[in-house]
Amino acid sequence: MNVAAKGRARLVVLISGRGRNLAALIAAVNDGRIAADLVAVISNRADAAGLALAREAGVPVQVLPHVDYPDRAAFDAALAAALRALEPDIVALAGFMRILTENFVREFEGRMLNIHPSLLPRHKGLNTHAAVLRDGDAEHGATVHFVTPQLDGGPLIIQGRFTVSAQDGAQQLAERVLEQIECRIYPQAVAWMARGELRCEQGVPRFRDRPLSAVLSLDDLEPGFR
């Protein structure tokens, strides 16, 4: 997909919780740092606090409670139908706490991004902050990657990292990762994709028309995202 060739990008964000990354994305869209139209926010939970953020910003919301469907495949089929109707160029998973089926991922592969609170490939899945403390990691951070059927295993785009302090507990790490890293690198990655500077072709991420040979870092952030 070449977003630049088709005009202004259409962005859909999927959430399950409080929406801190969603808030960062909304702010970046509203002030023009992300050149995209945020056409919808979809949640699998009616009580997700992030839905209120979307409504306050005037963004249409949809709720598809996963408990209303008999299995994962049925839910994913309904979610795929909702996305199809919205015709998104970018689907941003922002704390969307669902493991997606292969058929769903394949349909939107190359258009779908995720933010994960670890320095992938370390600590895939849940409880990443506790895992960092358990393993005595010297550094921690977050990663933006393209979504593939392999859980947290898609091509890496950008990471931000910091040194773990002796005073850090799991909650402190969670807040540091969110505030210092996630809310900076995720809007930046979406902005690059909206401008057509970032895409994935045949499983290979490309940045500004070159294969991305190494994961980008905080040093690559544009001034508006630092």
The residue type found at 182 is E
CB-CB contact of 10 with 88 (8 Å): yes
Task: Give just the sign of the alpha carbon dihedral 179, 181, 187, 188.
Answer: positive
137-167 in b/e form (b: 16+ CB < 10 A) is beebbbbbbbbbeeebebbbbbbbbbebeee
| Separation CA 99–CA 105 (nearest Å) | 10
Residues 6+ apart with CB under 8 A from 163: 138, 139
Question: Which of the residues 116, 123, 129, 140 is marked catalytic?
Answer: 116
Task: Please say if 116 is a catalytic residue.
Answer: yes
Distances (CA, A) of 46 to 15, 18, 23, 38, 50: 10, 12, 18, 20, 10
| Separation CA 126–CA 98 (nearest Å) | 11
CB-CB contact of 186 with 95 (8 Å): no
- Enumerate the H helices of 97-152 as residue ranges: 102-108, 128-135
Task: Give catalytic residues, as residue numbers.
Answer: 116
